[in-house]
Amino acid sequence: MKDLTKLSDKELKDMLTNLKEELQDVEMERGFMTKQSGVHVSSSKISSQMEEFDTEIEKLKNQIKDCEDAMCK
């Protein structure tokens, strides 16, 4: 991620908006995967995919927090 201290307020706001949209997309995709009942997928594949979603969600949440913290300075 970029050095947030060098970004303008507008750049930070835009980045924050994009990160929140991306987080929402990943959470929706994760929810969709858990609700699919018509497709057979092995439990190990589902488990692996959920771990990937969880990792991506945690990463995005951390980036959002860093961006919000930079905006407060």
Token duo for residue 11:
């750049």
Longest dimension (CA), the chain: 49
* Among the listed residues 29, 26, 16, the one whose alpha carbon sits nearest the alpha carbon of residue 63: 16
Token pair, residue 59, equals 């990463």
Tokens for 27? 């959470």
pLDDT value for 71 = 87
pLDDT, tens digit (0-9, with 9 covering 90-100), for 33-49: 777 666 666 778 888 88
- pTM for the structure as a whole: 0.84
Structure tokens at 17: 């908006």
C-beta of residue 12 within 8 angstroms of C-beta of residue 71:
yes
